Structure 1
Amino acid sequence: MNKQIELQDLGLKDYKQTWDYQEALFKAIVDTKIKNRREEAGLQTKNHFLFVEHPHVYTLGKSGDLSNLLLNEKQLIEKGATFYKINRGGDITYHGPGQVVGYPILDLENFFTDIHKYLRFLEEMIILTLAEYGLKAERSKGETGVWLDVGTPFARKICAMGVRASRWVTMHGFALNVNANLGYFDNIIPCGIRGKAVTSLNVELGKKEVSMEDVKEKLLKHFVNLFEAEFIRV
């Protein structure tokens, strides 16, 4: 089992270009697995982890409802945003500058074959990271992602999640609001959940800006511990 993960920080990158890159990495892993099964080739599968920030974009998961996007095509252009229907789970979400977006593209057979455990570990990575900033983050029953003040009228989401998995290979991932422009969430019903607010780390801490690099380092530390993995920067 290969527990090494190739880490890349793509900086600010177009959503579609990043999605295409994810698909290429995903396909290479799946192709290796197919070759191993057909030919007993014994080839090692790679694992990847991409950090990225996207220009303003709305994405709708395969089970999502288009009516949760509250903008028409003209309004999207006016907002400087794009829109894509994509192949992850979940409903609609927003990505933009000030978000730490992470895409683990892993062969789970290198770690464990349990997609629910995988999602819980991603959530736990976020929860442990936010705890380092003095925030008590939680899961919300029946709702993906990571939340604050669950079970109160002030419940608000700070991290969205949506993944795809095939042949135990994962793609897509999480989007943690660090210095996000929350006004862009007003143009959707986030994740199809009405009446729930969205927040960002800088808002919760009462700061103008939080170091994105510090957040990434904390996320990686907890990911390594949870997955018993090793990162190689490429």
Structure 2
Amino acid sequence: MTHAILPAETSHDAIEWRRSSGLVDYRAAMAEQEARNQAIAAGAADELIWMLEHPPVYTAGTSADASDLVDPRFDVVETGRGGRYTYHGPGQRVTYVLLDLSRRAKDIRQFVHALESWVIEALADFKVEAFAVPDRIGIWTRDRAGNEAKIGAIGVRVRRWVTMHGFAVNLSPDLSHFSGIVPCGIAEYGVTSMEQLGIALAPEEWDAALLARADAFLAALELSEKPRA
């Protein structure tokens, strides 16, 4: 496993943009996020946006219901993010977003909506029509049969106004691994991936699409009105 610091492609050069090759252990990544969260809040480290993949793991959010853990065939890790159970594994690209909202709009809903828009607009670059659904967490599209299906998950935590966790998009994971849980507690809809939609997409291509839209994402987090002097 290696970590690459991506070249600054946005006007926000105080953010570290990191891309990891290979698979990063989930618990190790969570511990690193915890430490970085504290350092950012203390003004001792730059903000971080980290793109990576994990070995197969089920993660439980703060609203996880044990009945949604159908077949715990992989490691199950409790996290501090919101939401219920989700799956991470090879072929699913995860982006962790550690930003200091005290420097921006201190509005968690605005932050989540900005994440949704960032993913939806990046997917559009690959001709995937994706959308958010009120009261149904995640990023949605239509599978090859025309049914609504989840292509991306979102789960965040905010501590001392510094964000943690982020979103995951299914490029080419083994979709059968999702059957061990009820993803995000939503049993009525399935999951899909870029591969299942007939789109072969390398992680580097997805990362590049996100980077190309990073300025728009960060602009969406700015204060709507600047404080008066």
**Normalised by the size of structure 1, how large is the TM-score?**
0.83
Choose the corresponding residue for 2:14, options 4, 9, 25. Answer: 4
What is the CA–CA distance in structure 2 between the aligned matches of 1:24 and 1:45, rounded to whole Å? 10
- Aligned partner letter, 1:30: A
- Aligned partner letter, 2:77: Y
- Look up the match of 2:138: 145
5+ unaligned residues in a row in structure 1: which ranges? 33-43, 230-234
**For residues 125-149 of structure 1, what are the alpha-carbon distances to aligned partners after superposition, in whole Å with 9 as ceiling and x for unaligned?**
1111111111110001101111014
What is the total number of aligned residue pairs between the two structures?
A: 207
Q: Which deviates further from its counterpart, 2-11 or 61-70?
A: 2-11
What is the CA–CA distance in structure 2 between the aligned matches of 1:176 and 1:223, rounded to whole Å? 16
What is the CA–CA distance in structure 2 between the aligned matches of 1:123 and 1:140, rounded to whole Å? 10
Preserved contact between residue 3 and residue 110 of structure 1 (Cα < 8 Å): no
Q: Which deviates further from its counterpart, 125-134 or 141-150?
A: 141-150
**For residues 91-119 of structure 1, what are the alpha-carbon distances to aligned partners after superposition, in whole Å with 9 as ceiling and x for unaligned?**
00000000110001110122321111111
What is the CA–CA distance in structure 2 between the aligned matches of 1:119 and 1:224, rounded to whole Å? 16
What is the CA–CA distance in structure 1 between the aligned matches of 2:105 and 2:212, rounded to whole Å? 19
- Look up the match of 1:226: 217
- Structure possessing the higher relative contact order (Cα contacts under 8 Å, 6 or more residues apart): 1
- Aligned partner letter, 1:226: F
SS of the residue corresponding to residue 42 of structure 2 reads helix
5+ unaligned residues in a row in structure 2: which ranges? 1-11, 221-229
What is the CA–CA distance in structure 2 between the aligned matches of 1:153 and 1:188, rounded to whole Å? 23
Matched, 1:168 2:178: no
**Normalised by the size of structure 2, how large is the TM-score?**
0.85
Instruction: Tell me which protein shows more helix as a share of its residues.
Output: 1
What is the CA–CA distance in structure 2 between the aligned matches of 1:87 and 1:156, rounded to whole Å? 26
Preserved contact between residue 152 and residue 167 of structure 2 (Cα < 8 Å): yes
- Look up the match of 2:149: 156
SS of the residue corresponding to residue 195 of structure 2 reads helix
What is the CA–CA distance in structure 2 between the aligned matches of 1:28 and 1:184, rounded to whole Å? 35
- After superposition, the CA RMSD in angstroms is 2.0
What is the CA–CA distance in structure 2 between the aligned matches of 1:85 and 1:97, rounded to whole Å? 20
SS of the residue corresponding to residue 120 of structure 2 reads helix
- Look up the match of 1:58: 58
